[in-house]
Structure 1
Amino acid sequence: MASRSTETHDRRNFLRIGLATGIVAMAGLPATAQDNEMPAPLRRALEQEQLGAVLGNPTGDITLTEFFDYNCPHCRSMVGDLHRVIADDPNLRVVLREWPVFGAGSLYCARASLASLRQDRFWQFHTALLGIKGDADDKSAIRIAAQVGLDIPRLRADMEDIAIARQVEHSWLLAEQMGLVGTPSLIVGNLGGFGRQSRNEMRDMIAEARRGRS
């Protein structure tokens, strides 16, 4: 799936969301948050529907959505910075959307991740799996699940729930509709970032999105 490769992520370009057409186009600088106001149905679908993990303040004043894959190297390198951004911003709500673009192993891990929410072990599982060396697949997912204390038979059963398949499908369709080009993709307000975003870049996006709402 070359079009989803992270090889081009070093550009760290911001995305300007062409919300009128559902297409995301590359831009050299952040778009102003007043441009191309996201339609309410798309905002609701992105931030409220078929949710997996919601971190930070569940009633925060602004939502940051990350589309990620457990085999994405930049997703792995960003997890610590994202956690710090959440810890430092008491009014930030974060939605994590599994977008398993790197194949069958990623899909297995996405399903396991969503199933781990039902045992209140998501964060432990999520960070440990993003911290592994090598491929994230069925073997590594089950190994990490056991390490963080998940009930493996229950996890396997929950992974087969059609509701989890629908969550993954919903995130995939959203990414396609918005024209996202790979992982990680971050959306906050009417702004987006593709590729690895530093702690300061994430904070700048959030601040700009807040200014656009004032």
Structure 2
Amino acid sequence: MIAKTFAAALMVSGLALASFPAAAQEVPLTPKQTEAVKKVVRDYLMEHPEVLGEALEALREKMRAQAEADAHKMLEARKDDIYKNADDPQGGNLKGDLTVVLFSDYNCGFCKQAFDPLWEAIKADGKVRVVIKEYPILGPDSVLAARVALLAKAQSQAKYDDIHRAFMKFRGRLDEKVIYKIAGEQGMNVEQLKKDIGGAELEKQLKKNFDLARSLDIGGTPTFIVGDRIISSALDQQTLKQLMDAARRTAAKQAG
């Protein structure tokens, strides 16, 4: 109602201007006329300041909808990079009907918080594939941990699973000493790791993940991709289930 009243006020001023001949309307407002219009708007806003709140809310909603639309387009454009990179660690049901993608960092407390809920949700569902994108954004120690994990993946997915779980379960900051200690405890050859840690293929894979994250406007961890949603938050098991169910409904609707 307030917005309609405001629109009406502007319409009145517009009708007043419309009374001038067409040729006159093409002439810019005089300073006096400009001030008069400004006064109408200012007086109205002073009387009805809540209009500003309504306008800001409408702007936020418009920006949110636009951001969501842009994200959907980019998810479609980069779907092969998101879901079909053979070098990415995977888990869950590799033949499942839904894939959940996770960008994470081993020194991210929220990533560690999200670890158990994610795998509990995956186990309970039974039909979800998980793709892990190593995204070490919290400094050199995080990069080192990601490189060690990817070297474990090069040996086997099972070896990666062991290292990944051990890193995520460690409470405290993973530094070089701790990283190599955990790797040794998980059966990896630490001396060989130190020789291989600077490999170009590791650099290439991490760069792919960073490029993909930038294209999807992902700046933090943990970030999940579930269906057409990108969520940067530590999700609990129930929320993950709701997102997975919603993704399946959306996929079924699009298919049928």
If the TM-score is normalised by the length of the shorter chain, which range does it land in? 0.7 to 0.9
Output the CA distance in 1 between the equivalents of 2:86 and 2:211. Answer: 12
Q: Does structure 1 retain, via aligned residues, the 8 Å contact 2:75–2:228? A: no
Q: What RMSD over aligned residues (CA atoms) do the two structures have, in Å? A: 2.1
Query: Deviation per CA, 1:143-197, whole angstroms, max 9, x where unpaired?
Result: 1001111122333334332222111111111111111131000001101221210
Residue 52 (structure 1) shift: 2.2
Q: Could you say which residue in structure 1 is the equivalent of 2:94? A: 58
- 1:123 paired to 2:161: yes
- 1:91 paired to 2:143: no
Q: What residue ranges of structure 1 are gaps of 5+ in the alignment?
A: 1-14, 23-35
Output the CA distance in 2 between the equivalents of 1:173 and 1:41. Answer: 14
Residue 68 (structure 1) shift: 0.4
Output the CA distance in 2 between the equivalents of 1:160 and 1:137. Answer: 17
Larger Rg: 2
Structure with bigger RCO (C-alpha 8 Å, 6+ apart): 1
Q: Does structure 2 retain, via aligned residues, the 8 Å contact 1:75–1:196? A: yes
| TM-score where L is the length of structure 1 | 0.80
Match 1:157 to one of 192, 195, 215: 195
Residue 17 (structure 1) shift: 8.9
Q: Does structure 2 retain, via aligned residues, the 8 Å contact 1:37–1:190? A: no
SS in 2 for 1:180: coil
| TM-score where L is the length of structure 2 | 0.67
Q: Could you say which residue in structure 2 is the equivalent of 1:81? A: 117
Residue 122 of structure 1 aligns with an amino acid whose one-letter code is: Y
Q: 1 or 2, which has the higher helix percentage?
A: 2
Output the CA distance in 2 between the equivalents of 1:160 and 1:49. Answer: 21
Output the CA distance in 2 between the equivalents of 1:50 and 1:106. Answer: 22
- 1:104 paired to 2:143: no
Output the CA distance in 2 between the equivalents of 1:19 and 1:206. Answer: 18
Q: Does structure 2 retain, via aligned residues, the 8 Å contact 1:64–1:188? A: yes
Residue 85 of structure 1 aligns with an amino acid whose one-letter code is: A
Query: Deviation per CA, 1:68-124, whole angstroms, max 9, x where unpaired?
Result: 001100111111111112212222110001111101110111111111112331111
Q: Does structure 2 retain, via aligned residues, the 8 Å contact 1:62–1:92? A: yes
Output the CA distance in 1 between the equivalents of 2:129 and 2:65. Answer: 21
